[in-house]
Amino acid sequence: MANAESEKNYVIRLHDDPAAVDAIAWNALLDVQDSPTPFLRHEYLLGLHRSRSALAETGWEPAWITIEYRGTLHGAAALYLKAHSYGEYVFDWAWADAYQRNGLAYYPKLLGAVPFTPVPGSRLLAVNDAARDLLLQSILALARQLRLSSAHLLFMSAADRAACERAGWLLREGVQFHWQNREVLPYADFDDFLHSLQRDKRRKIAQERRRVVEAGVCYEVVEGERIDAALWDFFYHCYTLTYRAHHSTPYLTRAFFAEMAQAMPAQWLMVVATRQGERIAASLIARDPSRRVAYGRYWGAIEYVPCLHFDACYYQPLDWCIANGYLRFEGGAQGEHKMARGLLPVKTLSAHWLADRRFASAVADFLAREGAGVEAYVDELNERNPFKAVPP
C-alpha cells in the first residue's frame, strides 16, 4: 500500500485488498454519483474477490485507489491490473496483438471496470469534479509509475466522460439494448406493452410465449431472501451448463452467489421455469429498487425447450418490471435480436489512455473510424424501431 499527501490535505491510497476499504464510506460515495448501480457496491466487488472469482490468480489483481480529505472519503475507483482481456466486453484484443507484434508488452494493463459485468454506471466515484479530476490523475500516475502499457475505464457515466475529456483520454462508443417503460402512462401490463409494438413483432412474441406454454412450462419468480440455497444450487448448475454449451469456463464461482445471497439478497430475483413439477431452467435478474432498474444477468437450462430462453430472459422479466413499476430493463452486452423484443439501442462509453504515443495515435485513428461506424449502426437500428411510434 502506498501513501502520499498533497498540500491540499488530500491523502491518496492504493489498496490491493478490497476489504481494506471502508464499505460504508464507499457505498455512501457511490450513492451520490450520477449513475450508481448495485454492481459497484462494496459488497458486490468484495464478493467477487472473496469468492476467488476476480483476484490476481484469475487475472484481476485489485489496485483500488481512494482519496481522502481530512479523514473523509472524497474519491474512489475500483481498478484492476489485468493479465488478459477476458470478462470485459469492450474488446481490445487487436490492440494487444499489435503491441506483441511490435515487441511490446500490452499486459498487464490498468482497468477500471466491474469484473464480468458490462453494466454502464459510475466508475470515478467522487464528491465533485475537482476530486474526480484528481482521481483520474492518480490513475494515470499509477499507470506511469508501474510502466503499464495503458489504462482503461469501461462503461462509464456522463460525469466520468466529462472528466476523461478534460484529461484528453481517448473515447470509445459501443451499443447495448435496453427496455424503457413509458414515462407518461407507464404500461399497465405485458399485453399493453405488446400492443405498443408493430404487428409482426407483437405476433412473433405471442407465438413464442404460446410455444412455451404449450410445452407445459410454468414459471415462478422468486425474490430476495426467498431464494434459498437449493435454488441457488440449481441456478448455478444451469449457469455452468450455458458455459459448457459454448465450450467455455464460468467466470463466477458458486461461492460468489453464496456471497450475494448473504450480503445483497434484496438485489436479486430469479425466474424459475418448471415442467411437470420439475425445475428445468432459471434466469437471474439483478435489481435496484431505489432507482427502479433491473438488469438481465445469467441464465441456463437443463433441457432444450423452443423459445424458453427468450421467455425466461426477456418476457418474464419485462412482465415483472411492468407489474412492479420499474423504469428500465438492461438486457446486457450486445444482442441485436433484443430489438425485436422491445429493447432499443443505447450507446455505451469507455475511455482509454495508452503510454506509447505511436500506438495512441493509431488507436485514435481507429476509434474515429469505429465511432463513425457505430453512429451509422445506431441510425440503422433506429430505422428498424419495433414500436408503432417512438416511445417518449
Output the CA angle 77-78-79, nearest 5 degrees. Answer: 105
The predicted pLDDT at position 305 comes to 96
> Are residue 142 and residue 122 in the same domain, yes or no?
yes
Cell of 218: 410454468
The predicted pLDDT at position 246 comes to 86
Contact 35, 157 (CB under 8 A): yes
**Cα–Cα distance for residue pair 267/63, rounded to 1 Å:** 26
In the sheet that holds 109-112, the strands lie side by side as: 60-62, 79-82, 109-112, 150-153, 344-354, 170-180, 328-333, 293-301, 278-288, 268-275, 217-223
**Cα–Cα distance for residue pair 116/31, rounded to 1 Å:** 22
CATH code of the domain in which 219 resides? 3.40.630.30
> Are residue 298 and residue 164 in the same domain, yes or no?
no
Structurally, the chain folds into a number of domains equal to 2
> Which residues of the chain carry a pLDDT beneath 70?
1-8, 389-392
> Are residue 115 and residue 51 in the same domain, yes or no?
yes
The predicted pLDDT at position 27 comes to 98
Encoded amino acid at 361, one letter: S
Domain termination residue (choose one: 281, 297, 326): 326
Q: Does 335 reside within a domain?
A: no
Owning domain of residue 294: 182-326
Q: Does 338 reside within a domain?
A: no
The predicted pLDDT at position 390 comes to 56
